[in-house]
A and B are shown apart, each in its own frame.
Chain A
């Protein structure tokens, strides 16, 4: 069954056609790469999928639901999580609180219960405290739970953002340049992390990345766009040798 399906979506900014006629389908447990030159429209595609922008053309389907025009938080509730090209953490909050916020939709106690500290409040708060710490543990970040997230080094901030996205319990995770600003060693660790997430959480992943070692190393399938249009799709090996892709993106 497909988790995500887009039908000829497009996005226009003023006179600029940033994305056009883009169709993709992602199934359960897939790891897909989205690559393309700078300004090709990759981030814009992510923004359309997550409801940050409403596509000016076409349809986005999550499972059976058409999500065009839905608010980002509603789309999250349908099982889509994401990270941002420019890291967007809750900078003034602790690492743990960053994660806890992402559990919001899994909790249901009311304001009344919160104010009177009812049974449900304690139960749910305890649950997410445990879950959040577990999640941090998986990323070897338990020790940082109490730290202010803005004080983390860059690499850990990226990890925390992924971790936070996972806390929303997505079926499909979108990662926008997760390896940007990491050195090759750190990138290697990140690849392991991604592989691990996929196993552990049974999520599909769609990622944008310019670091070819990562893309070619872990993606099963790669989609290439240029000037907002898909120019190639296939396995890493196929893409590597695709003339068009070499010309527009990879270079010699």
Chain B
């Protein structure tokens, strides 16, 4: 590890902690009230799930329209676990999230192995169908609480928990994508035949990428349950999957920072639109269409936004300004 890398890490960690400290302070002094806090937490969950979808769609290039299903699996697994056991909060939280992720990952594997032989839109429809099957199962299975929902989940997720969960997931994804494994996944999106011809086991990496994506979506689902305390199977429908899809495309397929920005932007735009009540959804739809027409590659395309670079540029500027 050279110095540049180490200093990069330090800068990143500092930035992460500073942002956390600021937001945390604002919550403490109630500048960020419960309401905004809630939006931030939800945005965090959206970031996690959308980022996982970005892995499957933006990087691996597979049309996945059933991420709400993986989320649901994660959510119910984590919630049922936490309801069943009686352990310290953080143990239950972490174990619940991991279990939720694992269960979603297992389902990702089961559906992924056959489905990933299909291409493009066919894969899309299979994942969509899978999501629907999960939703129907949750309505009908004996242990999920049915239509009335699963109640009595402990509230373990607050701003702090979700913030660091987002940090961990994003850091993981960045590290994963910028490695040989990530490059293998990217090459499949670009040209599967060529990838195979330079020695990439494409089937393996497709399934692997998909399972990792499902795992993270499951973790996101778990977090949703721990925040909301009640799970409603109706929530995990096709339109919910679509919401994440919109975030991914809007942010830029293949840009994690784009996903983060889009998730935050959409969360706040959505809330802002409540002020026009009746017209809200019409405007939302129009916004979406217009954004796509003018920015078909999403906000960031495949580029990543770097705070450090921005800060560097900024600090250079201020230095120059200070000089005179």
Contacts and interface: CB of A to CB of B under 8 A. Distances in A.
Q: Do A and B share a direct contact in the complex (Cβ within 8 angstroms)?
A: yes
Q: How large is the interface on B (under 10, 10 to 19, 20 to 34, 35 or more residues)?
A: 20 to 34
Nearest to B193: A88
Contacts of A105: 199
A72 B180 CA distance: 19
Nearest to A77: B199
Interface string A36-60: 0000000000000010100000000
Given A105-B199, A164-B198, A114 B180 contact: yes
B175 A101 contact: no
A100 B175 contact: no
B2 to A, nearest CB: 9
A97 B199 contact: no
Nearest to B190: A90
Contacts of A103: 180
B194 A115 contact: no
Nearest to A83: B197
A107 interface: yes
B198 A111 contact: no
Contacts of A72: 193, 196-197
B181 A111 contact: yes
Given A93-B190, A101-B187, A114 B197 contact: no
A125 B2 CA distance: 13
B200 interface: yes
B176 to A, nearest CB: 6
Contacts of B186: 90, 93, 97, 101
A227 interface: no
A176 to B, nearest CB: 11
B301 to A, nearest CB: 10
B200 A109 contact: no
Contact of A73 (B175, B190, B201): B201
A90 B180 contact: no
Contact of A88 (B1, B194, B202): B194
A89 interface: yes
Contacts of A89: 190-191, 194
Interface in A87-136: 88-93, 97, 100-105, 107, 109, 111, 114-117, 121-122, 124-125
Interface residues of A, number: 39
A76 interface: yes
Contact of A104 (B172, B183, B190, B191): B183
B179 interface: yes
A82 interface: yes
Given A89-B191, A92-B302, A101-B183, A76 B197 contact: yes
Contacts of B194: 84, 88-90
A219 B228 CA distance: 71
A107 B190 contact: no
Nearest to A128: B180
A72 B194 CA distance: 10
B176 A104 contact: no
Contacts of B198: 76, 81, 101-102, 104, 164-165, 167-168
A71 interface: yes
A77 to B, nearest CB: 6
Which of B179, B186, B189, B195 is the most central at the interface, judged by chain A CB atoms within 10 Å of its CB?
Answer: B179
B175 A117 contact: yes
B193 A52 contact: yes
Nearest to A121: B179
Contact of B190 (A71, A81, A91): A91
B60 interface: no
Interface of B: 1, 172, 175-176, 179-184, 186-187, 189-191, 193-203, 302
3 smallest A-B Cβ distances: which pairs? A114-B179, A90-B190, A76-B199
12 contacts: A71-B203, A73-B201, A81-B198, A88-B191, A93-B186, A93-B187, A97-B186, A100-B183, A109-B179, A115-B175, A165-B198, A167-B198
